[in-house]
A and B are shown apart, each in its own frame.
Chain A
Amino acid sequence: MEQVSLNTLPGRKRTAPRLNPATILLCLSVAAGLTLSLSSQAADEPLEYRVKAAFLLNFTKFIEWPASSFEASDSPIAVCILGDDPFGTVLDQILAGEVVNGRKLSIQRLKRAPAPRSCQVLFVSRSEKDSPKALPSPGKGVLTVGEGEDFVREGGMIAFLIENRRVRFDINETAADNAELKLSSKLLSVARSIIK
């Protein structure tokens, strides 16, 4: 047993901590931070939305849309953002020049629900959360993507969430089936959880 005693109380002693070497080290980091921030580009978008933008690109690669969800055989896959745009320029940079299944990718920013066949992927921003269901069901051939666990519970198809500091997503397989979207088993295996 390492610790038990009947000792009396020893005396007090206090010394103020010395700060100088630490202050110097801290100042060095602050100075480095300021210099780098002056010279860096505007690539200030949080990593989280860059990862989500990369996921959106991947979703287009691992999902099959029915032919009827496009206007024409050479229509691009339209990724639409409904409400406030959290991606900034990052989504444009990631989708630029990509071709998926012979189709290019385009981006639209919308303030209200899209016209039929004008969007294949509909990202519903958090700003739309409180407005009455912007998507009773946006129709067949539209993949709805949102944020937060509740999104899939309320009928959305894919919901991003942060778990253990990583971007994960849940899938509502029933909602996707109802929209006649075919999700690759690869996509399903990477999802955090699947709601049927």
Chain B
Amino acid sequence: MAQGDPQQPGASGQADPTALKNLSLEELSQIEVTTPSKEPVKVLKTAAAIYVITGDDIRRAGATSIPEALRLAPGVEVARIDANNWSIGIRGFGSNLTRSVLVLIDGRTVYTPLFAGTNWDVQNVMMEDVDRIEVIRGPGGTIWGPNAVNGVINIITKDTKDTRGMLVSAGGGNEEQGFANVRYGGGNDAGFSYRIYGMGFTRGTEYHPDGHNFDDWRSAQAGFRLDWKEDRDAFTVQGDIYDQAAGKSVGATSYAPPYSQTIDANSYLSGGNILGRWRRTLGDGDDIQVQVYYDRTDRQAPNYQEIRNTFDIDFLQRIRLAGRQAVSFGFGARVDPVNDPVIVSGLQFVPNKRTDYLLTGFVQDEIGLVDQRVSLILGTKLLHTNFTTGVDFEPSARLLWTPDDEQTVWAAFTHALRTPSDSEENFSLLGYITTLANGTPYFARFNPNTKFAPEQMNGYELGYRRLLGKKLYVDVTGFYNHYHNLFSEDLTGAPSLETGSTGTYLLLPADFGNGLRGYTKGAEIAPEWRPKDFWRLRGSYSFLHMNVGKSPNSADVGTAPSIVGSSPQHQATVQSAFDLSKRFQFDLTYRVVSALPAQRVPAYSTADVRFGWRLARQLDLSLVGQNLLQPRHVEDGGDPGPLVGIKRSAYAQLTWSR
């Protein structure tokens, strides 16, 4: 059996159990035992709403990108805007900017301080390399970095010792028009292993009622990783480079006519990163970890450009103390010189060249009480950025109670904040209103607000996990998040005439303020049931109620209904993974999402189906159909112009591994 084997032995009830005795120690250590009877120790003992999407879940859902894989987690709203653009949020506030959610790939934060959000089009990972995606709903507690207000998404790739050998996979279909992934991994028996990979894809456009098919997408990416373990030390070095062209449709305004237009053109996105990590185990659960990385992003959109170089260093130490205490602490520093040349005059970052920086620290104490059954976790994060004065604290208190081996109850209180970004403090954005009778244009302009304060949140959560027998596992969470100082669009004065290089125009001044507040509350339930050894069912249901409005004395123009109406109140997913035999797998994922009134998007339900066929010992075929229940359906209105329909699609994938 090769490493990274797409289909595992013994997974079917009819398999000969003694086939396992011929496997080596390493091979036995790779078999995924996805029985809910023993959910990972880590998840059961985590005082947070954590959900793990495994590499196997991703493969069986037929997901070809991280946003599509995230649909499997409860509490995460994923709405596909077009072929290369998604609106993602956790427990509300979903948008194409994905703000207030910290996203990491192997410990490297991938959110951009430009707008405190994530560009998903450039977060591509070879799906066969993904070991798991850990999704934490709610503020991530003290260990995680900045921006972890509504959640944390941590994408973790496999250790190189799990990806030895050659793997080639390629395929195509009507939307996934063509893709190819190649990976080679090697190493020695003395704790050193490595892999190199290359991947590329070309994706077609979704459905556009006006015939403007702008959203095609082509990408090429390559990278490597090496891991070396020696006694108490473990080292990892990894890096990637990518180059893409992704078609976008954006609004562009300028002071000269035409004052406002929609541009359909390619964004050219390229970049790379290199990361090094050292971890030393000091014995008895103590360890030290240092991580350094450099990340470069060159994003040329039709209406703006960002060239950002990020340098980051993080240190983390865990120590066990007497009295059943485990203390963790750490600090990190990140510096980003950035250059934003002006592409259209109506969208500018002022000044064009800046340096953003961020200093964080955290300390956390986990105290075991009452005979190992109760844990109290107290801690705080400290934060200082170039946008904030002084040090901000994000304290957190969590309680974990394990009455017995089958159940866990946890409760958490966290205070979290989203630090300001360039798009509030350094941003000048023009909006065209109309042209007056005398030919004078009338604009509104958001001016930079260097006084934008961090958004604040107090989150209260309660959760319960239960193993019912060996086949059923249930995870239930309830939350109440109270927000203030939320991002608002404020009018700051009366219209007046202004004269610039293009002439005179009427200008309504505005900026981004902290004028909204409100709360979200809801619950998520995620059962997992294994009625038979060859059949696994996973489900999730999420309920969200949002109530956001203006703060007293706020000059907000009325953005709250649009925020509330852009998140679904109900979401449900069911995933069925069925091993028909040792050679055939039949997988089904069904989801329902309720309406987004502010986006004019109705409720929808759709299903994806995958048929897996092991053609030979080293060759696997996957046939995947996606969004099958309608020829097309809309999920979000994030593009200018008419709502884009996500098409019914299918692809076939052949994987050869040795």
A and B: partners?
Answer: yes
Residues in chain A within 8 A of chain B (CB atoms): 1-19, 21-22, 25-26, 29, 32-33, 36-37, 40-41, 43-48, 50-51, 53-55, 57-58, 62, 90, 93-94, 96, 98, 126, 148-150, 161-168, 186-187, 189-190, 193, 195-196
Contact (Cβ within 8 A) A32 B586? yes
C-alpha spacing A193/B281, complex, angstroms: 10
Please state if A26 and B590 are interface contacts (CB–CB under 8 Å): yes
Check A54 against B23 for contact (C-beta < 8 Å).
yes
How near does chain A come to B45, taking the closest CB pair, in angstroms? 10
B321 at the interface (CB under 8 A from A): no
Report if A26-B40 is in contact (Cβ < 8 Å); known contacts: A33-B578, A50-B10. no
How near does chain A come to B472, taking the closest CB pair, in angstroms? Answer: 13
A76 to chain B, nearest CB (A): 17
Contact of A13 among B30, B283, B444, B602 (CB under 8 A): B602
Q: Is there an interface contact between B281 and A165, defined as CB atoms closer than 8 Å?
A: no
Q: List 29 A-B contacts (CB under 8 A).
A: A1-B250, A2-B85, A3-B95, A6-B433, A9-B558, A11-B600, A14-B597, A15-B595, A15-B604, A19-B605, A22-B605, A25-B607, A33-B531, A33-B578, A40-B532, A44-B532, A46-B37, A46-B470, A46-B533, A94-B20, A162-B38, A162-B41, A163-B40, A164-B54, A165-B40, A187-B25, A190-B29, A195-B283, A196-B283
Determine which of B20, B115, B131, B629 lies in contact with A1 in the assembled complex, contact meaning CB atoms within 8 Å. B115
Residue pair B431, A21 in contact (C-beta under 8 Å): no
Contact among B14, B17, B565 with A94 in the assembled complex (CB-CB below 8 Å): B17
Interface centre among A2, A36, A187 (most CB of B within 10 A): A2
Cβ contact of A44, chosen from B281, B533, B580, B600, cutoff 8 A = B533
Q: B14 near A43 (CB under 8 angstroms)? A: yes
The reply to whether A9 and B598 contact each other, CB–CB distance below 8 Å, is yes
Q: Which of B28, B281, B347, B565 contacts A51 (CB 8 A)?
A: B28
- CB A67 to nearest CB in B, in angstroms, measures 25
Would you call B304 an interface residue if the criterion is a C-beta within 8 Å of the partner chain's C-beta atoms? yes
Inter-chain CA distance A40–B96, complex, in Å, is: 48
- On whether the beta carbons of A25 and B25 are closer than 8 Å, the reply is no
Residues in B neighbouring A8, C-beta threshold 8 A:
558
Q: A36-B534, A149-B41 are in contact. Are A93 and B248 (CB under 8 A)?
A: no
Would you list the 8 A-B pairs with minimal beta carbon distance, nearest first?
A17-B605, A15-B602, A48-B33, A54-B20, A190-B25, A46-B35, A165-B32, A12-B597
* Smallest CB separation, B35 vs chain A (Å): 4
Distance in angstroms between the alpha carbons of A93 and B629 in the assembled complex? 46
The residue from B446, B603, B628 contacting A17, defined by CB atoms under 8 A apart: B603
Residues of A close to B599: CB separation below 8 A? 10
A61 to chain B, nearest CB (A): 9
> Is A9 touching B562 in the complex (CB atoms < 8 A)?
yes
With contact pairs A47-B533, A51-B31, A90-B17 given, residues A10 and B284 touching in the complex (Cβ less than 8 Å): no
**CA of A193 to CA of B555, assembled, Å:** 58
- With contacts A2-B248, A32-B580, A48-B38 taken as known, whether A54 is within 8 angstroms of B28 at the C-beta atoms is yes
In Å, the complex CA distance between A7 and B531 comes to 50
A55 touches B97 (CB 8 A): no
Asked if B64 lies at the interface with its beta carbon under 8 angstroms from chain A, I say no
Residue contact B95 to A14, C-beta cutoff 8 Å: no
Number of interface residues of B (CB under 8 A): 90
> How many angstroms between the C-alpha atoms of A112 and B304 in the bound complex?
74
Chain B residues closer than 8 Å to A164, beta-carbon distance: 40, 54, 131-132
Q: Chain A residues with Cβ under 8 A from B96's Cβ?
A: 2-3
Do A16 and B628 have beta carbons less than 8 Å apart? Answer: no
Q: Does B641 contact A (CB under 8 A)?
A: no
Task: List residues of chain B with CB within 8 A of the CB of A37.
Answer: 531-532
Complex: chain A residue closest to B23, CB-CB: A54
Q: State whether the Cβ of B339 lies closer than 8 Å to any Cβ in chain A.
A: no
From B423, B532, B588, B597, give the contact of A25 (CB < 8 A).
Answer: B588
User: Would you call B586 and A29 a contact (CB within 8 A)?
Assistant: yes
Q: Which residues of A contact B23 (CB under 8 A)?
A: 54
Q: Give the residue name and chain of the A residue nearest to B344 (CB).
A: A1
Is there a chain A Cβ closer than 8 Å to B631's Cβ?
no
B588 touches A33 (CB 8 A): no
Tell me whether A163 and B41 are in contact (CB under 8 A). Answer: yes
Q: Which residues of B contact A90 (CB under 8 A)?
A: 17
Q: What's the nearest-Cβ distance from chain B to residue A16, in Å?
A: 7
CB distance from B90 to the nearest CB of A (A): 18
Complex: how many Å from CA A28 to CA B266?
A: 43
Given A3-B96, A12-B595, output 17 extra A-B contacts at Cβ < 8 Å.
Answer: A2-B96, A6-B431, A6-B444, A18-B629, A18-B630, A22-B629, A36-B534, A46-B33, A46-B37, A48-B38, A54-B28, A55-B25, A62-B25, A96-B18, A163-B41, A187-B25, A193-B281
Once A40-B14, A58-B25, A190-B26 are accepted as A-B contacts, the answer to whether A167 and B470 lie under 8 Å apart by CB is no
Listed residue (B33, B405, B629) with the most chain A CB atoms within 10 angstroms of its CB = B33
**Which residues of the other chain, B, contact A33 by a CB distance below 8 angstroms?**
531-532, 535, 578
Interface residues of B in 559-573 (CB under 8 A from A): 561-562, 565
* Given contacts A9-B562, A126-B405, A47 and B602 within 8 Å (CB-CB): no
Q: Are A162 and B33 in contact (CB under 8 A)?
A: yes
Could you tell me the distance in whole angstroms from the C-beta of A102 to the nearest C-beta in chain B? Answer: 18
A21 touches B629 (CB 8 A): yes
Are B191 and A189 neighbours in the complex by a CB distance under 8 Å?
A: yes
Judge whether A41 and B13 touch: CB under 8 Å. yes
Task: Tell me the bound Cα distance from A30 to B285 in angstroms.
Answer: 45
B1 CB-CB contact with A under 8 Å: no
Docked-complex contact A29 and B578, CB < 8 angstroms: yes
Question: Which of A10, A149, A186, A195 has the most C-beta atoms of chain B within 10 angstroms of its own C-beta?
Answer: A10
Check B609 for interface membership: any CB of A closer than 8 A: yes
* Bound CA–CA A98/B20 (angstroms): 13
Residue on A with the closest CB to B115?
A1
CA distance A126 to B405 in the complex (A): 10
**Cα distance, A115 to B248, chains bound together (Å):** 75
B533 touches A43 (CB 8 A): yes
